[in-house]
Amino acid sequence: GIQVEQSPPDLILQEGANSTLRCNFSDSVNNLQWFHQNPWGQLINLFYIPSGTKQNGRLSATTVATERYSLLYISSSQTTDSGVYFCAVDLRGGGNKLTFGTGTQLKVEL
Amino acid sequence: DVKVTQSSRYLVKRTGEKVFLECVQDMDHENMFWYRQDPGLGLRLIYFSYDVKMKEKGDIPEGYSVSREKKERFSLILESASTNQTSMYLCASSSRGSSYEQYFGPGTRLTVT
Domain ranges of chain B: 4-97
- What CA–CA distance (Å, rounded) separates B41 from A53? 30
The percent of residues above 70 in pLDDT, for chain A, comes to 96
Task: Give me the pLDDT at residue A94, please.
Answer: 66
Average pLDDT over every residue of A5-23: 97
Please report, for residues A53, B45, B54, B93, B98, the alpha-carbon distance to residue A48 in angstroms, rounded to integers and kept in the order given.
Answer: 10, 19, 26, 14, 12
Ordered by start, the domain boundaries in chain A are 4-109
Closest-CA distance of chain B to residue A17, Å: 27
Question: Is A102 part of the contact surface with chain B (CB cutoff 8 Å)?
Answer: yes
- Residue B42 confidence class, pLDDT cut points 50, 70, 90: confident
In chain B, the residue whose alpha carbon lies closest to the alpha carbon of A37 is B106
| CATH class as words, domain B4-97 | mainly beta
CATH number (2.60.40.10, 2.40.30.20, 3.30.70.360, 3.40.50.150) of A4-109 reads 2.60.40.10
Instruction: Kindly state whether A51 is in contact with chain B, defined as any CB-CB distance less than 8 angstroms.
Output: no
Q: Rounded distance, CA A8 to CA A21, Å? A: 7
CA distance B67 to chain A (A): 18
CA distance A12 to chain B (A): 20
Rounded to whole angstroms, how far apart are CA atoms A21 and A63?
12
- Number of neighbouring beta carbons within 10 Å of residue B15: 11
Average pLDDT of chain B?
Answer: 94
Which among B44, B48, B109 has CB closest to A41?
Answer: B109
The beta-carbon neighbor of A42 closest among B58, B96, B107 is: B107
Q: What are the pLDDT digits (tens) for A20-38?
A: 999 999 988 888 999 999 8
- Cβ contacts of residue B105 below 8 Å, gap of 6+? B4, B5, B6, B23, B90, B91, B92
Parallel, antiparallel or unpaired: strands A10-14 and A104-109:
parallel
Per-residue model confidence as pLDDT tens digits over B59-91: 999 999 999 999 999 999 999 999 999 999 999
CA atoms of A89 and B11, how far apart (whole Å): 30
